[in-house]
Amino acid sequence: MIISALPPGFRTWAGAVLMILFSFLSLYHIRTLNRREPGNLIWTYLLWVSYFLAGFAVSRSAGHILKQILILSEHRELWDSIQAFSGTVNTFMLILVAATTLFFERVWQVYQGILNDRQALQSAHTELLLLNENLEKRVQDRTEALAQSEKQIAQADKLASIGQFSSGIAHEINNPLGIILGYTQLLQRDEKPGSEKYEDLKTIEKHVKNCKSIVEDLLSFARSSRPVQNAVCIHECMDDVLTFIRHRSKSENIEIIKEYDRSIPKMILDEKKIKQVIINLMMNAIHAICGKGSIRIRTVYESRENRVLIRLKDTGYGIEKKNLTKIFDPFFTTKPTGEGTGLGLAVSYGIIKNHGGEILAESEMGKGTEFTIILPLTGKNAVIGECHE
């Protein structure tokens, strides 16, 4: 109502000025956005469209203003002659807007194709990186497995050569020791207990028995008999060993903690040899604690890996890092002279290997040592039933 009440000439002038004003304001804002993101295709398109629309606004507004001036100054015939030119300029500006839109529509399709290709390349690059990482990990795992196999072969060769050598020595020494022990015990019968000669004979007997014990260890180490396969509940073996240890060792001040996984099934094992391994580990743990402490025995059934783990952890003084790689070597011991032959862990290593398993050790000085026995439930040690405990 208010706008229609204004004179026609004023409306024409006001409309022309507002058209120019708004078109240049739009152009200003688009230029600002384009400067912020010069690579943005949308801002570039809108910038060109704003240029042409601003040109259209100037051309059309100038035409209307010129028309009013010429009509008011009574030069209408002049306007009639240039009206066609003004309309042509306006049409040309609109054609430029349409052409720019069509051009950028095609550019946008190409841009989208390039963007899709770029995303595909990035995805392929990411997949290649993952494959490369997996390949490196697999190569590293294979390298470590190969190194472990080479180490195990070297250990087996060492055990075999030393075993043959030990067997010969043990057989040569065992017979004389038996004779010495027998005559010593015969001589003791003729002496009164408590006499000087009787005590000397007891000393000889003691040391001969120690020598025979060493020889028995050598023979046990040298024998490479196959495991006697029986259906065994591993927890029953361990309980028998613990009963034996409690009665025959100085372990009164040592707390033995049992954590059994009752889901472990029966296994095909050499019961006597497995007991020998656990006895060796237990005796080493008791010696390492040397007083008050604890031994934790834990079993774990890993059904997914199809294996059983036996973990034995003590609170002893631990094993030095430099010695940790030598503890399974024959005759290696950190015990004082006369207290150990260094064959217990070597024999245990051989027994577990004959069962197709592994025995590992971790230790930290001052905090104790943990041995882990890994027995696979395949082949030699296959599951044959459940343990009813």
Here the CATH number for the domain that contains residue 267 is: 3.30.565.10
Rounded-to-integer distance, Cα 332 and Cα 287, Å: 16
In angstroms, what is the C-alpha Rg of the chain? Answer: 48
Residues 120 and 233 in one domain: no
Residues 121 and 233 in one domain: no
Q: Is residue 80 part of a domain?
A: yes
Residues 240 and 385 in one domain: yes
- pLDDT digits over 9-49, tens only? 556 566 667 777 777 787 777 788 778 877 777 777 777 77
Rounded-to-integer distance, Cα 339 and Cα 323, Å: 18
Q: Is residue 62 part of a domain?
A: yes
Last residue of a domain, one of 101, 125, 149: 125
Asked whether the beta carbons of 61 and 12 are under 8 A apart, the reply is no
Q: Is residue 382 part of a domain?
A: yes
In terms of residue numbers, what domain contains 277? 227-389
Rounded-to-integer distance, Cα 265 and Cα 244, Å: 24
> Which tokens sit at 66?
């010129």
Q: Is residue 294 part of a domain?
A: yes
Q: Is residue 201 part of a domain?
A: no
Last residue of a domain, one of 91, 125, 159: 125
Q: What's residue 135's pLDDT?
A: 84
Q: How many residues does the chain have?
A: 389
Q: What's residue 224's pLDDT?
A: 52
Edge-first strand order for the sheet with 293-302 is: 254-259, 293-302, 307-314, 368-376, 358-364
Domains identified in the chain, total number: 2
Residues 374 and 235 in one domain: yes
Amino acid type, 101: T
Torsion of CA 126, 128, 133, 139, to 10 degrees: 170
Q: Is residue 212 part of a domain?
A: no
Rounded-to-integer distance, Cα 369 and Cα 351, Å: 20
Rounded-to-integer distance, Cα 71 and Cα 8, Å: 13
Last residue of a domain, one of 109, 125, 141: 125
Q: What's residue 259's pLDDT?
A: 93
Q: What's residue 6's pLDDT?
A: 47
Amino acid type, 379: G
Q: What's residue 117's pLDDT?
A: 81
Pairing label, strands 254-259, 293-302: parallel
Instruction: With 0.85 as the threshold, say if the pTM is over it.
Output: no
Q: Is residue 220 part of a domain?
A: no
Rounded-to-integer distance, Cα 381 and Cα 229, Å: 9
Q: Is residue 16 part of a domain?
A: yes
Q: What's residue 209's pLDDT?
A: 75
Query: Taking Cα atoms as reference points, which of 60, 82, 59 lies closest to residue 71?
Result: 82
Residues 107 and 252 in one domain: no
Residues 117 and 231 in one domain: no
Query: Taking Cα atoms as reference points, which of 274, 287, 278 lies closest to residue 368?
Result: 287
Residues 101 and 237 in one domain: no
Sequential DSSP letters for 295-346 = EEEEEEEETTTTEEEEEEEE-S----HHHHTTTTSTT---SPTTS--S-HHH
Rounded-to-integer distance, Cα 322 and Cα 195, Å: 48
**Residue ranges of the chain whose pLDDT lies below 50:** 1-6
> Which tokens sit at 294?
């604890």
